[in-house]
Amino acid sequence: MGDACKGRVALVTGASRGIGKAIALRLAAEGARVAVVARSLRPEDHELDGSLEETVAAIRAGGGEAHPIVADLSNPDDRGDLIASAEAAFGAGIDILVNNAAASFYVPFETFALRKARLLFEVNVAAPWELMQAVLPGMKTRGRGWILNISTAAVIPPSGPPYGLSGNAIDGAAGYAGTKAMLNRVTQSVALEVFEHGIAANALAPEAGVQTEGAMAVINLPDEMCEPIETMAEAALALCTCDPAKLTGRVAYSLSLLKELQRPVFSLDGRTLVAGWQPAEIPNAHLFSQKWSGA
């Protein structure tokens, strides 16, 4: 285990599977005590693979410390005491907050029911909003803190007109992209307001597809269009351990950030380098600066 997060307490939402689980494992491998939050406590609780029990077991097997919290982040009642529960479990305040849980629907706007839009807002905006508000007083008192909101490339406006379903154009993304765009802007405002207190607030999105359980249930992306989950976890770790005076208020993309920082990419247990995905090896074709500039 490393020690980049030694002595710190982290909370990661949506940590039963996918990117949230990967980030929780990577933080734990660097010494963080991690509260993991999701709706699925046991494997049988969801049709997709992954559960809080499995995430906690993986962290503990690696020598780390973890605590599961079952919560439905679309429900304000579940969000109300979430931070207090995590802090009580570890007897310490939250130093690192990762808002990863998300809801998404891709439905044409004309038929997009407002009730679904409200659900997206509750999970993608209201939940991170309330959790950030809950951790900030303690972070200010301690004079340190790291907030990371997981975003998406879907927020980037489509090129055009004329419009087509190629490049960065995604049909039916008004609700998901719209709420994540708001989250990005909220993140930047929070960064501005807490900068003087030694607290970093950033947003991070995958730059290529990530073959998580949820993503693969919807679309089967070819390997050449994907990045490994380790690159997202490593980029997240970088933003959760950065110098808040130098790296805050960013809406970052995983691969570009790793190249910018020349950050080695490790396995989720922090023990080995991920072959083919070190900064000098990351394909330029995956970078947004190249992909959508015509380069």
In a domain, residue 66? The reply is yes
Which pLDDT does position 284 carry in this prediction? 85
Question: Domain range for residue 39?
Answer: 9-291
Which of 106, 163, 176, 253 is flagged as catalytic?
A: 176
Ramachandran region, residue 14 (left: φ > 0; alpha: ψ -120 to 50; beta: rest): left
Which pLDDT does position 45 carry in this prediction? 79
Which pLDDT does position 4 carry in this prediction? 98
Instruction: Indicate the length of the chain as a whole number.
Output: 295
Per-residue pLDDT of the chain (295 residues; tens, 9 = 90+): 799 999 999 999 999 999 999 999 999 999 999 999 999 999 877 877 889 999 999 999 999 999 999 999 999 999 999 999 999 999 999 999 999 999 998 899 999 999 999 999 999 999 999 999 999 999 999 999 999 999 999 999 888 888 876 555 678 899 999 999 999 999 999 999 999 999 999 999 999 888 665 554 456 677 777 899 999 999 999 999 999 999 999 999 999 999 999 999 999 999 999 999 999 999 888 887 655 444 4
Distance between CA atoms of 145 and 153, rounded to whole angstroms? 25
In a domain, residue 213? The reply is yes
Which pLDDT does position 1 carry in this prediction? 72
In a domain, residue 4? The reply is no
- Residue 12, both tokens: 């990661």
If one counts the domains in the chain, the total is 1
In a domain, residue 3? The reply is no
Sign of CA dihedral 115, 175, 130, 233: positive
In a domain, residue 182? The reply is yes
Q: What CATH number has the domain bearing residue 247? A: 3.40.50.720
Largest CA distance in the chain: 56
Question: Which DSSP string do the residues of the chain spell out, in sequence order?
Answer: ---TTTT-EEEEES-SSHHHHHHHHHHHHTT-EEEEEES-SSGGGSSSS--HHHHHHHHHHTT-EEEEEE--TTSHHHHHTHHHHHHHHHTS--SEEEE---------GGG--HHHHHHHHIIIIIHHHHHHHHHHHHHHHHT-EEEEEE--GGGSPPP-SSP-SSTT--TT-HHHHHHHHHHHHHHHHHHHHHGGGTEEEEEEE-SSB---HHHHHH----GGGB--HHHHHHHHHHHHSS-TTTS-S-EEEHHHHHHHHTPPPB-TTSSSB-TT-SGGGS-GGGSHHHHTTT-
Per residue in 139-164, is it b (16+ CB within 10 Å) or e — as a string? beeeeebbbbbbbbbbbbebeeeeee
Is 253 among the catalytic positions?
Answer: no
In a domain, residue 62? The reply is yes
In a domain, residue 248? The reply is yes
Q: Are strands 251-253 and 96-99 parallel, antiparallel or unpaired?
A: unpaired
In a domain, residue 260? The reply is yes
